[in-house]
Structure 1
Amino acid sequence: MRSFSAPRKTKRAIRRFRARLRRMKVRTADDGPPERSSSRPLILTISLAFLTIFSAVAFSGAAGGTILLPIQRFFLNWLGAGRYVFTLLLLGMTLSSFWTVLRKPPLTVTAWQCVGFLLFFFALLTFLAAEKGEPGGRLGCLLHEVLRRRLGEAGEMVGLIVGALAAAALIGKLSARPFFARAIAAARKKAMRRSVVPEAICEPEPWETTAEESVGRSAQELPTPVRETDKESEEDLEAKRYRNKYPPMNLLEPEMGFINREIDVTDTVQAIMTAMEELETPVEIVSHCVGPAIIQYQVRPSSRRGPGPESASRRIKVGDVAKVERDLAVQLGVTNLAIQAPVPGKSYIGIDLPNPAALTVRLRPLMESRTFREMKSKLRIALGRDITGKPVVVDLEQMPHLLIAGTTNSGKSICMRSIALCLLMNNSPEDLRVIMIDPKRVELFRFNGVPHLYGNVETEFERSLAVLNWAVFEMNERYKLFENEGNGVNKIEAHNQLALSRGEKPMARIVIFIDEVAEIMNGPDKSGVEAIDKLASLSRATGIHLILATQRPDTSVITGVIKNNIPARIALNVASGIDSRVIMGKQGAEKLLGRGDMYLVQPSQHTPLRIQGPMLMDSEIDAVVNFWRRLAPPPENADEMGAPWETIIAQQEDEELHDKVFRDAVKAVCTTGRATTNFLQTKFRISFPRAKRILSRMEDLGIVGPSQAGGKPREVLWSPDEADRLEEKIGVTEE
């Protein structure tokens, strides 16, 4: 026993000795190599803390220098408001590292949790870009456009919600496996309970019947089904076709990019202050505002000392700043410089300069904006963005007409087409009907076939007169209807409310687009001028609105009657200050940049509002028109597709046969053998369209041959004797 107890005592003594050495921090050979005291966690913590403070200072707006400023621009452009989330992420990493240095249990983060953080970060950027545009940064705008194109507006929101829920599940280490396991277990328990139910309380199986018995019993007991079309009238079905069915926003192109409000304007500000000092009108820069097309520098007049050493300082007047506009443009080397002295409703002067990083405005974000959605009018129009980048939305019902004027390539036709497309996107053919007159033949033809349009886009002068005369006739008929209804009905809103209370169909509004009104105002037949004047002065209460456009803004086109009855006007880039005065009563439109840069004059505002209009592609118009074509296919009967003014045109053609000028023209052509429009114009002092129409009528009756190439006169097929017997040959009696 003693031989075995001695080694045990020795081992116990050795273990006790080693324990004492460990408490005394003395290492032995059996303890292995000594641990190296590493300072890496402390260095990492300090580095993360430095980066956190560095990013917070850079993103706070107080950044400067050649290092912080580029970093700030990079994160602002690509992440937008998400740069603050990036700072919070660095702060979390710093706290986690500091927790580890303090010998606390480390905060472990798995790879799936990192994926969850990234997914939540991307979903947040996309949501900010979808709602506000700029705060999402370029990365958010890119993700927003990809999801909107692939999934649509509703699909994008569903995808963002699903992505946020998935990110929350990954971050919280939530799993769907326990949920499905519980659901399967509950289903199994329910099935087992059903299987042990006594047979006495089970439901009996249904009796089997033969086919003859079932047919006989169904014929006696079951009621006859009534089709929905039997209960509803055709008008109700037509109303259901368009109800709550409007073109989706994904048919329009989105805006690519955003307004860079952090653009460096230090050099320009210094150049403005230096130039104004040299022009003896010193100013102080208050701030600047970056818009989609221009940058407005907000200045206040400063004071200037006299020539003597003891002379008192003199305050610069606002008019003195406005007088040096041309000189300042020469000093800065800018052609399109405008000075607003002062800015309406503000206490400073605005110096407008072109934005070198201009943004192409699109119609889709304007219609998706809160300003557009909050306006409840059916005739709301998105015109563009103002100097601050805010959407500008107007109500055509309150205007109630609109005049657009500008030179070629100023954006006049695109502005008119965007207005038409905006109305078609928010109105069904039951609520709005459209008439389009396009003498240029190439601007509005893409709207042919849309169910809102009466007939087709009219291009001929004579047919345009018939359209305007029918509009005057329709206006008078509506006034007669209001008069007969009584009950205080004096406008279309009261009539529609009364019609809905009676269960009748409401009256549709009519918008007439004329792309070049100068062709009608300066035409040989003045009936078109009279019709436009009547519509502009009387048609507001009947729901008929005019949208006129011209590239000749002179007093012969924009007459005093039109200016008095159409107070809402849009002035695009014009050739001279005189044209600008004709349109909006003051100069300034001649300094616009073109390509949609415009001034809006409204009766409720005393000063024009500068707006950048949207860019509209032909593919967007085709997409909206094709959508309405699929929703409302053309009628099978060709007579139903005709315009309501076709009867007026037919009556005019019949009246020409009884006209003395037509009979005299036939005799003159057959006698002289000269069948040309110039001969008829000179001989009878008629207009070119009427002479052309008379020759076309002669060709239909077989009096002259078809027109020949090279400007040669037509061949005369009748003799003078046949012309004398015109009434007998065509059955026309002389009145």
Structure 2
Amino acid sequence: MSKNKLKTEKPENKKPKGAAPNPDVLKKDKEPEVKVKELVKDERTHKVMGVFFLLLSVYCFIAFTSYLFTWEDDQDKVFRYSTQELLIGDVKVDNLLGRLGAYVSHNFFFNGVGVAAYLFCYFFFIIGVNFIVGRRVFRVWRNVKYILFGLLFVSMTLAFLAGGFDFPWGGALGNALNKWTSGFVGKTGTALLLLVAGFSWLIWKFNFDFKWPEKKVKPPKPAPVAPPVTPLAAAAAAVTPAAATPPPVKEADRKNGLREDSGVMVIPPAAEEDLDEFSPMELVEREEITVIPSHVPHVPPVVPPAPILNEPEEEEEEGEELMLELKELPEMEEGEDEDPGPLLYIEETPAEEVAPTPKKKNAPQEVAFEIKPTFQDEEEEVEEVAAVRPVVPADPYDPSLDLRDYQYPTLDLLENHNADKVIVQDTSELEKNKNQIIDTLKNYDISIQKISATVGPTVTLYEIVPAAGVRISRIKNLEDDIALSLSALGIRIIAPIPGKGTIGIEVPNVKKTIVSLKNMLASEKFQSSTMDLPIAIGKKIDNENFIADLAKMPHLLMAGATGQGKSVGINTLLVSLLYKKHPSQLKFVLVDPKKVELSLYKLIEKHFLAKLPGEDDAIITDTKKVIHTLNALCIEMDLRYDLLKEAGTRNIREYNNKFTQRRLNPLKGHRYLPFIVLVVDEFADLIMTAGKEVEMPIARLAQLARAVGIHLIIATQRPSVNIITGTIKANFPARVAFKVSSKIDSRTILDIGGAEQLIGQGDMLVSFNGELVRLQCAFVDTPEVENVAEFIGNQKGYPDAFLLPEYVDDKDSDGKELTLADRDPLFEEAAQVIVQTQQGSTSLLQRRMKLGYNRAGRLMDQLEAASIVGPNMGSKARDVLVKTDAELQEILNNLL
């Protein structure tokens, strides 16, 4: 019974569960909680502390100065009276700051460090300034080191020099150090020790340069040599605005990352252990502030204006402060103030002004927001680049002497589609997108710590640092929701960004910027490039030029839907190679099933194109001729490997170096090997019409041709698995994906989705060296390509295009008997080669005469029928029956 009673009884004052609240009873007001951590981090607390330290500095300075004149009377009273009577009683002193000033001064001077006590005033001053300003104006811990050394050195030196005076020049500390040192090393040793210590500090601080005067010898004056100016350098100089010589960069500024000519301050991230690099506010908050380096080179005529500061009228009571930075930051001195409020740094030209953007009072959530730098690549003066050429002896072989008067195309043949070259940065658009992203994430209870923006030519990358405990997959799944809130097409989420602890959201810009190929070719990065086959592809999101080496790719696969920029991309690659390479160094094999895309390059046939012997058109459009050309390239590849084997080299670069140094004999079949680039504009059409006959030589070239300088650029608008097979994909590590229609096509090209989210018109993803980079392809129009082709075609070229080895299909030669009556046109030449070398080898004919294996075999059979060589002996070479040229001429006369 008692147990049941205990269970059923309820206290009278306990409120029944689920009962409605009594409206007549007022609730108690919730007492505000005082959070000590937030109070310590509050900016107002830092300013109050700064005012306190400044007041303490001024107070000590006045008290110490007054003590210098009143120390005799005040010292007697401090000794006579106790501390309690001195501070509470009615004792009169002469110090300007009263009894407290006399007491403090006496302890600092007499019981402390003497006159060196003034260093404490300096210490309190730098602490106060740092707290009030809220940033590292003075480096605290560096000054603490100087102050500690000064207290010891100054007090001991003054005690040593003024040992007989009553005034405490060195204080108790100085007297104690002086007494012990004098007893240990004597008076003279103490003087030498102080002299060495002071001199060592001066050397460490100012780093004096001690040099013994040397006898000057006047060197002979060299004769002035005018550097050669190439047409490319002259054109690049015309494109580049006239500018004065930039001011030199100071050595100290170079170490600190500060460039006088760029108007940009770069603060390297401080290491965790270097606590002396932080201000007192940063030590309290334990936060590291890093100004990301800007890549904006100096444009001499343009003076960076002062930043526009938008200071809020009211401080928000909740949330953190918002910082919006546009990365063209002006140069800042060490002591310059930084306002932690919402700042908008915009580099503007004198012609136009950017209106300040007011801060909303009811922002959804305030997080740190910054806009990362865009790489403003300036067209550099290229005279110096063009004038610097490797000094080689006159003896080595130079293949370019065959066309010694050849002139490289000039930049004035191209148009500057984006004259200002400045990426449009709409501050209101950035602010709006930032708020939309934060609101969308907040609706799903996802909080972030920081958001930054990098404005590119066509898209803006917003980098998000999620709060602790937020799963990346939650943000990745909100891709469609963020696209809906931003009302934008082509939202792409990178979660996470490789190499960074952030999540990227790529949002298309409302105002897109055209990337001009002319600006990229005029850049210093392209002009000074030492790559074998440099290709200017486009610009990254941060506006940095993406220039790669086709020889290291080593093959490039391009795919994308119709009209998304593949043909323009191919023209960009070809034109960039034409601007960098000599006709003797590079040859193109152009395959154009469309018959109209690559026809512009027909004018440069005798300079840069390669074709089959006997063909009239170097641009290959017929499928059957494509098969023959691909097989001829395979034969050329095998011949080149034979040459590399005989030369004892591993790649084309080593072989050409040996040949130019005249270490290889041309009489033995050796020759200079130019790079060969095969370009196929529509690969899907070839696969559909020829199938395996095309796929097999393409696979062979992709697998083996890299070392001998044959590289492939294949484009297709149908990226399906039956077109881009596994064999082809495995040998094309470098891939370019323009906009495709489905995620399956994107996975076929890149092995990852994302290409379906591109916005078209040259927007592409490049997979290279294990990285996936989003680029805006450089634009070159058809009239520009025509201008470049006409400029090259009007110059003197080779007698004919570069001839590939002849390929005869086995199907065409079946059923035909080889007789001396129908002997090959090259029969006499082949006979002379065999007799002169006394080697009956089919491979010798292939190398010397650049023939395919089938034709060389038929020639060898005809030579056997003419009794010039003996019968086939298996793997051994045939015997040469004719020993002299006279015997050979007699045999040839009898055959006529």
The normalised TM-score by structure 2 is 0.46
Is 2:619 the counterpart of 1:457?
Answer: yes
Is 2:656 the counterpart of 1:409?
Answer: no
Is 2:296 the counterpart of 1:59?
Answer: no
Give 1:84-163 correspondences, 5 Å limit.
none
CA–CA separation in structure 1 for the residues paired with 2:377 and 2:689 = 53
Match of 1:572 among 727, 738, 741: 738
Deviation at 1:442, TM superposition (A): 1.8
1:277 matched residue in structure 2: 442
Match of 1:256 among 419, 430, 441: 419
Deviation at 1:633, TM superposition (A): 4.4
1:482–1:235: structure 2 CA closer, same or farther, 3 Å change rule?
closer
1:627–1:272: structure 2 CA closer, same or farther, 3 Å change rule?
same
1:436–1:273: structure 2 CA closer, same or farther, 3 Å change rule?
same
3-state SS in 2 of match to 1:574: coil
Task: Kindly report the root-mean-square deviation, in angstroms, between the aligned alpha carbons of the 2 structures.
Answer: 3.7
1:342 matched residue in structure 2: 496
The normalised TM-score by structure 1 is 0.55
Give 1:30-41 correspondences, 5 Å limit.
none
Give 1:414-433 correspondences, 5 Å limit.
414-433=568-587
Conserved 8 A contact 2:583-2:608? yes
Is 2:638 the counterpart of 1:502?
Answer: no
Give 1:431-470 correspondences, 5 Å limit.
431-450=585-604, 451-455=607-611, 456-470=618-632
1:125-183 Cα offsets, whole Å, 9 max, x none, are xxxxxxx99699xxxxxxx9xxx9xxx9879x9xxxxxxxxxxxxxxxxxxxxxxxxxx
Deviation at 1:632, TM superposition (A): 2.4
Deviation at 1:420, TM superposition (A): 0.8
Match of 1:552 among 688, 706, 718: 718
1:483–1:233: structure 2 CA closer, same or farther, 3 Å change rule?
closer
Deviation at 1:653, TM superposition (A): 9.0
3-state SS in 2 of match to 1:522: helix
1:225 matched residue in structure 2: none
Deviation at 1:372, TM superposition (A): 2.1
CA–CA separation in structure 2 for the residues paired with 1:594 and 1:454 = 33
Deviation at 1:543, TM superposition (A): 0.5
Conserved 8 A contact 1:572-1:597? yes
2:349 matched residue in structure 1: 78
1:351-407 Cα offsets, whole Å, 9 max, x none, are 111111211001111122232234301301111000101001111111110000100
Give 1:507-522 correspondences, 5 Å limit.
507-522=673-688
Letter in 2 for 1:501: Q
Letter in 1 for 2:475: V
Which consecutive residues of structure 2, in runs of 5 or more, have no partner in the other structure?
1-302, 314-324, 326-342, 355-373, 387-394, 612-617, 818-896
2:451 matched residue in structure 1: 286
Match of 2:650 among 490, 496, 505: 490
1:491–1:576: structure 2 CA closer, same or farther, 3 Å change rule?
same
CA–CA separation in structure 1 for the residues paired with 2:747 and 2:763 = 17
Give 1:261-340 correspondences, 5 Å limit.
261=425, 263-264=427-428, 265-302=430-467, 315-340=469-494
CA–CA separation in structure 1 for the residues paired with 2:816 and 2:585 = 41
Letter in 1 for 2:776: Q
Deviation at 1:283, TM superposition (A): 3.0
Letter in 2 for 1:395: D
1:587 matched residue in structure 2: 753
CA–CA separation in structure 2 for the residues paired with 1:57 and 1:415 = 35
Letter in 1 for 2:608: H
2:787 matched residue in structure 1: 623
CA–CA separation in structure 2 for the residues paired with 1:541 and 1:82 = 56
CA–CA separation in structure 2 for the residues paired with 1:589 and 1:409 = 15
2:804 matched residue in structure 1: 644
CA–CA separation in structure 2 for the residues paired with 1:326 and 1:465 = 46
Letter in 1 for 2:445: E
Letter in 1 for 2:307: S
3-state SS in 1 of match to 2:452: strand
1:633–1:509: structure 2 CA closer, same or farther, 3 Å change rule?
closer
3-state SS in 2 of match to 1:519: helix
1:313-361 Cα offsets, whole Å, 9 max, x none, are xx32112111111122122222210111122222211111111121100
1:473 matched residue in structure 2: 635
1:508-541 Cα offsets, whole Å, 9 max, x none, are 0100000111122333452211100000000011
Deviation at 1:634, TM superposition (A): 6.4
1:283–1:153: structure 2 CA closer, same or farther, 3 Å change rule?
same
* Aligned sequence identity (%): 29
CA–CA separation in structure 2 for the residues paired with 1:402 and 1:236 = 27
1:65–1:280: structure 2 CA closer, same or farther, 3 Å change rule?
closer
1:430–1:657: structure 2 CA closer, same or farther, 3 Å change rule?
same
Deviation at 1:58, TM superposition (A): 8.0
CA–CA separation in structure 1 for the residues paired with 2:312 and 2:815 = 85
Is 2:523 the counterpart of 1:369?
Answer: yes
Conserved 8 A contact 2:308-2:344? no
Deviation at 1:74, TM superposition (A): 13
3-state SS in 2 of match to 1:449: helix
1:74–1:379: structure 2 CA closer, same or farther, 3 Å change rule?
same
1:690 matched residue in structure 2: none
CA–CA separation in structure 1 for the residues paired with 2:400 and 2:436 = 67
CA–CA separation in structure 2 for the residues paired with 1:234 and 1:301 = 59
Deviation at 1:64, TM superposition (A): 6.1
1:271–1:643: structure 2 CA closer, same or farther, 3 Å change rule?
same
1:241 matched residue in structure 2: 405
Letter in 1 for 2:661: S
2:240 matched residue in structure 1: none
1:680-715 Cα offsets, whole Å, 9 max, x none, are xxxxxxxxxxxxxxxxxxxxxxxxxxxxxxxxxxxx
Letter in 2 for 1:293: T
Higher helix share: 1
1:499–1:272: structure 2 CA closer, same or farther, 3 Å change rule?
same
Deviation at 1:658, TM superposition (A): 6.2
3-state SS in 1 of match to 2:510: coil
Conserved 8 A contact 1:522-1:556? no
Conserved 8 A contact 1:299-1:350? yes
Which consecutive residues of structure 1, in runs of 5 or more, have no partner in the other structure?
1-55, 84-131, 137-143, 158-230, 304-314, 660-735
Deviation at 1:468, TM superposition (A): 0.3
2:136 matched residue in structure 1: none
CA–CA separation in structure 1 for the residues paired with 2:414 and 2:515 = 12
Is 2:695 the counterpart of 1:529?
Answer: yes
1:708-733 Cα offsets, whole Å, 9 max, x none, are xxxxxxxxxxxxxxxxxxxxxxxxxx
CA–CA separation in structure 2 for the residues paired with 1:532 and 1:296 = 38
1:205 matched residue in structure 2: none
1:270–1:246: structure 2 CA closer, same or farther, 3 Å change rule?
same
CA–CA separation in structure 2 for the residues paired with 1:462 and 1:539 = 22
CA–CA separation in structure 1 for the residues paired with 2:346 and 2:813 = 75
CA–CA separation in structure 2 for the residues paired with 1:82 and 1:453 = 52
